[in-house]
Amino acid sequence: MSNRTMVFLRAIVFVFVVPCLLWGQVSSATISGEAKDQTGAVVPGVAVTVRNVDTGLVRTTTSNERGLYAVPNLNPGHYEVEAALAGFQTYRRSGLALTVGSTVAVDIPLQVGAAVEIITVTGEAPVIETTTSTVSGLVSERTIRDLPLDGRSYDSLATLQVAVVQFNYNDPNAVRGRGQQFSVSGSRATQNQFLLDGMDITEYGGATPGSVAGVNLGVEAIREFQILTSNFPAEYGRSVGGVINAVTRSGTNTLHGSLYHYLRNSTLDAKNYFDPPDEPIPPFKRNQFGASLGGPIRKDHIFFFSNYEGLRARTGLSLTPVVPSLNARQGNLRDGPVKIAEAVKPYLAWYPIPRP
């Protein structure tokens, strides 16, 4: 293979791989901590192994001279941490659930003994964030799956968080955005930033992203999302409002999928205030359907996840037009009678008879 071809291939890898690694820093999680012995003294050189329970992926590091270690850029999921050093018992911590953008502190208390002896601690990571001053809230995977969503757009759940208020203004358009509008900590609805797997997807003009139907389809593909309301860390920017940081689902060592179809139509709806009481409800039909599938390509190494979601909506509306009254049709106006030309009468007949 010629040198020119090698340079070209390396350039392709750099263009497509390096940006993914850089963007992923704001959507990933971190495990960090300190290794100490029974006397409280720091222990350097401890081999720390972090394993994703769902995918089997493993990351390793070593504690530094101050006993500190950190494993960044971890995908959200369930993890276990194992620490080993000659002359000490192996320490294992399981039951760690990492969420998008979180930093979990896992300190390692080492005890003198043989390395074949293993101390296992099982427990969830603390819910209180002690490593950052950022004010944020998490909408978990369970919340996204279990709560009913009109339109199945994940950004509709943003108002569950403190300091987030739905903000409806003007008609949706390309400049104002077509997605759900909301204000974070009193800011304008066009001052928020939206990230998906670390990539900025904010609508043109700073508005909420959304399709022509005004929704963000693909709820089944969203694992969870985080809303930062104030005190953002340095890796976030371009926003004086809130940061909505979402991460997509991924495949695991187990094949899993779903098939769904949601139906809503006028037969199941009640009349609204503007619908005529003696006429049928305007026709309305909405179908949301799709399927998802994820699993391993090569166990513990390569995975896939795909999702398709479709929306078909046919909507009828009740309008209240202004039409000529019965007196006006006969030429009896408020300022006095007028003669209705014979050529005009057929056009007046096109208007519906006004309701009392």
Per-residue pLDDT tens digits for 222-248: 999 999 888 887 778 777 888 999 999
Residue 291: which pLDDT band, with cuts at 50, 70 and 90?
Answer: very high
DSSP secondary-structure letter at 237? -
Q: Outline where DSSP puts E strands in 152-283.
A: 164-166, 182-184, 193-196, 199-200, 222-230, 243-248, 256-265
Band (352; pLDDT cuts 50, 70, 90): confident
Q: Per this entry, what is the length of the chain?
A: 356
Instruction: Kindly tell me if the per-residue pLDDT of 348 is higher than 80.
Output: yes
Give me the percent of the chain exceeding a pLDDT of 90: 24
Residue 117 confidence (pLDDT): 67
Chain-wide mean pLDDT for the chain? 83
Q: Hey, what amino acid is at 134?
A: T
Is domain 3-122 classified as CATH 3.40.640.10? no
- In single-letter form, the type of residue at position 240 comes to V
- C-alpha 232/C-alpha 195 separation (Å) is 14
Residue ranges, CATH 2.170.130.10, the chain:
135-248
* pLDDT at residue 93, rounded to an integer: 92
pLDDT band at 74 (very low <50, low <70, confident <90, very high): very high
Is 22 a residue whose pLDDT tops 50?
no
d(CA 31, CA 73): 9
**Residue 306 pLDDT greater than 60, yes or no:** yes
- Count of CB atoms situated within 10 Å of the CB of 7: 10
**Residues contacting 232, CB < 8 A, separation 6+:** 134, 239, 243
CA separation for the pair 216, 227 (Å, rounded) = 16
The answer to whether 236 and 202 have CB atoms below 8 angstroms apart is no
> How sure is the predictor about 64, in pLDDT bands with cuts at 50, 70 and 90?
very high
Q: What is the pLDDT of residue 5?
A: 63
The answer, yes or no, to whether residue 90 has pLDDT greater than 50, is yes
Q: Please, which pLDDT band fits residue 171 given cuts at 50, 70 and 90?
A: low
pLDDT band of residue 18 (cuts 50, 70, 90) is very low
Q: Does residue 19 have a pLDDT over 50? A: no
User: Do 205 and 194 meet the contact criterion of CB atoms below 8 Å apart?
Assistant: no
Say which CATH class 135-248 falls into: mainly beta
Model confidence band, residue 79 (pLDDT cutoffs 50, 70, 90): very high
Answer whether 203's CB lies under 8 Å from 221's CB: no
CA pair distance 82, 47, nearest whole angstrom: 8
Residue 155 pLDDT > 50:
yes
Name the residue with tokens 């995908």. Answer: 75
- Provide mean pLDDT across the span 30-39: 92
Q: Looking at the predicted structure, is the pLDDT value of residue 253 above 50?
A: yes
pLDDT of 10: 62
Instruction: Name the burial class of residue 224, with classes exposed (0-12), middle (13-18) and buried (19+) by CB atoms within 10 angstroms of its CB.
Output: buried
User: Helix, strand, or coil here: 100?
Assistant: coil
- Residues 320-349, mean pLDDT to the nearest whole number: 86
Hey, is 292 helix, strand or coil? strand
pLDDT of residue 20: 43
Residue linked to tokens 């057929």: 346
pLDDT at 318 over 60: yes
> Of 177 and 268, which is predicted with more confidence?
268
d(CA 61, CA 69): 7
- CA gap 311, 110 in Å, rounded: 55
Question: Which residue type occupies 123?
Answer: G
Q: Where in the chain are all domains bearing CATH 2.60.40.1120?
A: 3-122
Distance CA 103, CA 93 (A): 16
pLDDT-wise least confident of 42-56, 85-99, 310-324: 310-324
In terms of average pLDDT, the best of 68-77, 116-125, 268-277 is 68-77
pLDDT at 58 > cutoff 50: yes
- Please compute the mean of the pLDDT values over residues 148-156 and round it to a whole number: 83
Per-residue pLDDT at 344? 87
Higher-confidence residue: 152 or 297? 297
Across the range 330-352, mean pLDDT stands at 86
Q: Enter the pTM of the model.
A: 0.74
d(CA 52, CA 161): 29
- Find the distance separating the first CA and the last CA of the chain, reported in whole Å: 86
